[in-house]
Structure 1
Amino acid sequence: MLYIMILLIILLMLLLIRSLMVKRELKSMTKQLMTYNNRDTGKKLDVALFDIHIEGLAAQINRQSDLLLAAKAEQLRTEKELKQMVANISHDIRTPLTSIFGYIQLLEADDLTAEEKQEYVAIIKNRTKRLQALLNDFFELSVIESIDYALQLGHLKMNNLLPEIILGLYDQFNERLLVPDIHIPQDEIIVIADESAVRRVIENLLLNTIKHATGKVSITFLKQQSTAVLMITNKANPLPDNDPSVLFNRFFTVDQTRSGTGAGAGTGLGLSIAKGLMGKMEGKLTAEMTGDHLTMRCEWMLSPRKS
């Protein structure tokens, strides 16, 4: 009986010591966390006591700290992009508005000839159309990015649609003295997509190419194992940090995307819209840089329906 009592006393002392050690460790963790929260240090929690539960708690607290830091960094990045977007929108809207207002003032002059009035009216119409297109793009991008925006996916025959879209832009290619090298297989290729969205995506990519490209433009459509791929390639200027993904950033304004252009004031919304639409169709739109050539690559899932 005496041995049992001694054993119980020893166990109680061990439990008391253990409890005191855990209490001291928790106080230490609290102090460390307070110092971290006060931004006095960026050091994470250290655990001196070997205890699986306390170590697990410390690990989760450290993980939460990492998540908060990542969220803070994302917030700062978003705020920076938002400020840049506001600046870009202000510039892109103010420029045609200033021009329109200026020509309206010129129209108020009494000594204008009929030809001058006609010229000024034509310029005002052109600037107004540009402003309208810009506002439509901003609206469309905001709609596409909303959760409720859905497309009607179906079985789409790309062999018929793709040549039709390219032919519809023939005049624009011709005006820029561009003769695209087109490769479209004769075998029927059916993808899962929304027709109006596909038209918008391809038109945006081709119009972007027409606007900036010089030299050879290659348009290739091919069938892979489970996907169909459209590739548009032409010579390009170097990109910031050699990162082609910046082309789809709606805040990217420095026009370094294609050769022979230099700086520009475009917002890049056409590519952002195309990227958003491809995502809604569960497809992919990427940009790849190989040497001094840029390739826009669209990828759709093939339809299981047999031709």
Structure 2
Amino acid sequence: MRNERPRPGPPSVIRGILMLILIYGSALAGGYGITAQIYRVTGPPSELLRQVFSGLTALALIAMVMGLTASWRMGRGQRPHENIHDILTDALAQIARGNFDVFLDAKATNMHHDLAEAINDMARGLGNLETMRQDFISNVSHEIQSPLTSISGFAGLLKKEDLSAEQRRRYAEIIEGESKRLSSLSENLLKLTTLDNSKLPLNRQDFRLDKQLEHVALLLEPQWSAKNLTLEAELPLCILCGDEDLLSQVWTNLLHNAIKFTPEGGQISIGLKQEGDAAQVTIGDTGIGIGPEDRIHIFERFYKADKARARSAGGNGLGLSLVKKIVDLHGGSIRVESTIGEGTTFEVFLPGLHCV
């Protein structure tokens, strides 16, 4: 009669879980230590990339330790994958090598359900981060390549000696416009990276929100006047305790979009009122509108509801994501209502305001 190895009972499972937690915690601390030394030479990346690199370094350390353990056991004549520890070793090693399609079946591996789900969640989370990273690089590369191609092409045309003065002026204006697009992209990326670092506190102070909205509208007057737009504003006295510079960026972006996507002779409105314990800022227009399939994505980075029109107008798809980030940092919220061909209205709610 063959002797079968008894299945591990609850105490063995608990010991395994505790051992895994100890190994992962030690490896995570080691990963932070290693990446910290590297950042002293290369400089720190954004908070998101810092977390990803530290986590991957920790996983690599775990895989290395598990690999050495497996090699030692095989040297003693033990077969690989003969227990739960070998299954964990293989799964974590695959994750460390960049394979995030790992899936552990708790029943098939005789593994505790919570432990298997934790590893599966980790693999899915790292896979999502990798997808976000690749999409981000692809979007940035595309946004940079387009204006660079235009600048290079029209700069070459300017070398022709038989160009008229009007052609030279038009080509120079195109180069200037594409250069501004690159500058705006770089500036917005820098702002988003800075805001993503949650350790940076807001520079909160009391200021007149109504005066700020009025000031932004006056700064953009050359743009809406050039299109014969009518601007209506209802701005009662309102005091806010918030980051004045960041919130100015919110109103500038929203008003700029309203002007950009409203045809000549249209109308823009700015409203300010108290809504419970918050203040509501409303910026509306009678422009082209946004379809329902686009409204759910407009606050995503690099998303453009009308790609062809946004490109011709110089957009890079970062303005509204920057608006959303600033509003979120202030503990507020933003929502949009829009109808194709009739216009769009953005409503921003900010707590901590005192309206008179």
Q: Calculate the TM-score normalised by the size of structure 1.
A: 0.70
Task: Tell me what 2:131 maps to.
Answer: 80
Alpha-carbon distance change, 113 to 255 in structure 1, aligned in 2, over 3 angstroms: closer
Q: 1:35-60 CA distances to partner (integer Å, 9 max, x unpaired)? A: 798799865459xxxxxxxxxxx8xx
2:122 matched to 1:71? yes
Q: 1:192-240 CA distances to partner (integer Å, 9 max, x unpaired)? A: 1111111111101111222224555443211123211112234633233
Verify the 8 A CA contact 2:154 2:171 in the aligned structure 1: yes
Pick one of 291, 296, 305 that aligns with 2:346: 296
Percent of residue pairs identical: 22
Amino acid at match of 2:350: W
Task: Tell me what 1:200 maps to.
Answer: 249
2:190 matched to 1:103? no
2:309 matched to 1:233? no
Cα separation, 1, equivalents of 2:173 and 2:103? 64
Verify the 8 A CA contact 1:192 1:300 in the aligned structure 2: no
Pairwise CA distance, 1:102:
1.3
Cα separation, 1, equivalents of 2:225 and 2:189? 29
Q: Which structure has the larger Rg?
A: 1
Amino acid at match of 1:255: D
Pairwise CA distance, 1:190:
1.1
Cα separation, 2, equivalents of 1:252 and 1:64? 37
Amino acid at match of 2:336: E
Pick one of 279, 283, 287 that aligns with 2:331: 283
Instruction: Please say which of residues 66-75 and 102-111 is displaced more in the overlay.
Output: 66-75
Alpha-carbon distance change, 212 to 118 in structure 1, aligned in 2, over 3 angstroms: closer
Verify the 8 A CA contact 2:280 2:350 in the aligned structure 1: yes
Task: Tell me what 2:143 maps to.
Answer: 92
Amino acid at match of 2:331: G
Amino acid at match of 2:196: E
Pairwise CA distance, 1:63:
3.4
Alpha-carbon distance change, 70 to 23 in structure 1, aligned in 2, over 3 angstroms: closer
Verify the 8 A CA contact 2:105 2:116 in the aligned structure 1: no
Aligned residues: 267
* Structure 2 unaligned residues grouped into runs of 5+: 17-82, 92-100
Listed as ranges, the matches of 1:209-288 within 5 Å are: 209-213=258-262, 216-234=267-285, 236-240=289-293, 244-255=295-306, 266-280=315-329, 282-288=330-336
Cα separation, 1, equivalents of 2:337 and 2:117? 33
Instruction: Please say which of residues 97-106 and 205-214 is displaced more in the overlay.
Output: 205-214
Verify the 8 A CA contact 1:193 1:300 in the aligned structure 2: no
Highest relative contact order (Cα 8 Å, sep 6+), 1 or 2? 1
Verify the 8 A CA contact 2:302 2:316 in the aligned structure 1: yes
Q: 1:250-296 CA distances to partner (integer Å, 9 max, x unpaired)? A: 1424438xxx958888432111222222233x232422346666442
Pairwise CA distance, 1:151:
2.7
Pairwise CA distance, 1:66:
3.3
* Structure 1 unaligned residues grouped into runs of 5+: 1-19, 47-57
Verify the 8 A CA contact 1:254 1:263 in the aligned structure 2: no
Verify the 8 A CA contact 1:35 1:41 in the aligned structure 2: no
Alpha-carbon distance change, 23 to 223 in structure 1, aligned in 2, over 3 angstroms: same
Q: 1:81-132 CA distances to partner (integer Å, 9 max, x unpaired)? A: 3222222222221111111111221122232344433333233222212221
Amino acid at match of 1:238: G
Alpha-carbon distance change, 298 to 119 in structure 1, aligned in 2, over 3 angstroms: same
